């Protein structure tokens, strides 16, 4: 069988077993940590990670077995991961699953059930499940580029990021919808300004993938959520070209790039039974619905004062200065 095949089609049974790797406990206990609104965060290799993720990233670094043709999707949380998973799966899998296919995996599964989240699988000791996926595999991580195992250096990476204020607003809504209803936005905002939000600092996350994408554009495709919103069909074509499977003239004539963009649009995905019901996640159960909120640019205006916006804009601008990476908001 040729990949990518939906993770859930290979591993059909629900399996919530969590057997974290224990061999790193001594190192982990020495790492700086703090607790905020009931969540413990630890600093590992310059990145603030939720406590349960730390052994997973350590295991990923030591045990991951890349395969020829693997494609790694990477993103800071709440920056367009779900969308990128859907688009990449649809683009890479279109020979087996044409976009018109009524039984397309993306019409019966949540995108997170199609493309596995490596950080959580390694954290739960379930990474052996990745071995059963046919090649080429589509895999996802929230890890910074600096944390990836050197063996991933041979894989193509697609990174998506988002204007940081909108990313934070999205993260806050997500945390609240996952049960932390008393988590004030101001708490997350302060953490982010200090670089201490989960998988922060945001700017290091961005700069890591940005600089590798500039140096080796054939290895790392750097996408911005806001640009994808403006022209999703061009993004679909760009993804296909980057992944080495550009659309043929026959596929173009059949309208496949637009069909894929339509199938993966937030409205189309949100309306599916698979995304209206059910949940996903090993450590926190997140409803499938919670991954499809507004899906727009500029939602931060309803959550931040102009002063807060100026403050975080100034921090991000200062950190990104000279890199060539900018965001308009
Ligand atoms: P994750 O990192 O936990 O997987 P991720 O998918 O990156 O989450 O972020 C969810 C955001 O992407 C939501 O943004 P919002 O809270 O500002 O609304 C969600 O609405 C948006 N999103 C999900 N799917 C799509 C899509 N198909 N098109 C555009 N935006 C989308």
Give domain status of residue 2, yes or no.
no
Give domain status of residue 298, yes or no.
yes
Measured between alpha carbons, how far is 28 from 51 in angstroms, rounded to an integer? 9
Give domain status of residue 264, yes or no.
yes
Tally of helices (H runs) and strands (E runs) in the chain: 17, 9
pLDDT at 172: 95
Is 142 marked active-site?
Answer: yes
pLDDT at 72: 98
Please work out whether the CB of residue 176 comes within 6 Å of at least one atom of ligand 1: no
Distances (CA, A) of 284 to 178, 280, 293: 7, 8, 18
Sign of CA dihedral 122, 123, 125, 129: negative
Please work out whether the CB of residue 261 comes within 6 Å of at least one atom of ligand 1: no
Give domain status of residue 247, yes or no.
yes
Cα(81) to centroid(ligand 1), Å = 7
Say which of 104, 112, 140, 142 is annotated catalytic.
142
* CATH code of residue 278: 3.40.50.300
Ligand 1 atom nearest to CA at 292: 20
Query: CA angle, corner 323, sides to 143 and 70, nearest 5?
Result: 35
Token pair belonging to 193: 């300004």
Q: What are 72-114's pLDDT values in tens digits?
A: 999 999 999 999 999 999 999 999 999 999 999 999 999 999 9
Cα(321) to centroid(ligand 1), Å = 27
pLDDT at 284: 83
Give domain status of residue 326, yes or no.
no
Which residues touch 247 (CB under 8 Å, ≥6 apart)? 237, 240, 256, 257
The rounded Cα 171 to chain-centroid distance in angstroms is 12
Q: What stretches in the chain show pLDDT beneath 70?
A: none
Give domain status of residue 328, yes or no.
no
Q: What are 223-242's pLDDT values in tens digits?
A: 999 999 999 999 999 999 99
Give domain status of residue 327, yes or no.
no
Give domain status of residue 329, yes or no.
no
Measured between alpha carbons, how far is 170 from 191 in angstroms, rounded to an integer? 15
pLDDT at 100: 96
190 is in which domain, residue-wise?
Answer: 7-320
- CB-CB contact of 60 with 118 (8 Å): yes
Measured between alpha carbons, how far is 254 from 323 in angstroms, rounded to an integer? 40
| Ligand 1, atom 28: closest residue by C-alpha | 266
How many structural domains does the chain have? 1
């Amino acid at each position: 069988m040729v990949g990518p095949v939906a993770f859930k089609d290979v591993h059909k049974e629900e399996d919530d077993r969590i057997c974290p790797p224990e061999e790193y406990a001594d190192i982990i206990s020495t790492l700086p940590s703090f607790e905020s609104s009931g969540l413990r965060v630890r600093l590992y290799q310059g990145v603030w990670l939720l406590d349960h993720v730390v052994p997973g990233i350590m295991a990923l670094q030591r045990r991951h077995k890349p395969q020829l043709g693997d494609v790694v999707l990477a993103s800071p949380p709440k920056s367009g991961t779900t969308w990128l998973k859907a688009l990449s799966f649809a683009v890479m899998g279109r020979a087996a699953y044409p976009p018109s296919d009524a039984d397309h995996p993306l019409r019966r599964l949540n995108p997170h059930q199609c493309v596995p989240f490596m950080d959580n699988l390694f954290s739960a000791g379930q990474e052996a499940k990745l071995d059963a996926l046919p090649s080429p595999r589509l895999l996802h991580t929230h890890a910074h580029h600096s944390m990836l195992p050197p063996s991933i250096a041979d894989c193509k990476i697609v990174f998506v990021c988002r204007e940081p204020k909108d990313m934070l607003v999205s993260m806050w809504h997500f945390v609240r919808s996952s049960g932390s209803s008393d988590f004030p936005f101001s708490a997350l905002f302060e953490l982010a300004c200090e670089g201490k939000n989960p998988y922060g600092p945001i700017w290091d996350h961005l700069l890591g993938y940005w600089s590798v994408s500039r140096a080796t554009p054939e290895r790392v495709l750097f996408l911005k959520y806001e640009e994808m919103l403006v022209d999703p069909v061009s993004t679909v074509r760009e993804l296909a070209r980057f992944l080495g499977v550009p659309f043929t003239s026959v596929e173009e004539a059949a309208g496949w790039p637009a069909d894929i963009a339509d199938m993966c649009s937030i409205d189309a995905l949100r309306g599916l039974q698979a995304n209206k019901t059910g949940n996903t996640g090993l450590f926190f159960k997140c409803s499938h619905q919670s991954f499809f909120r507004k899906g727009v640019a500029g939602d931060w205006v309803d959550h931040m004062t102009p002063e807060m916006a100026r403050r975080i804009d100034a921090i991000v601008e200062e950190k990104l200065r000279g890199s060539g990476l900018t965001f308009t908001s």
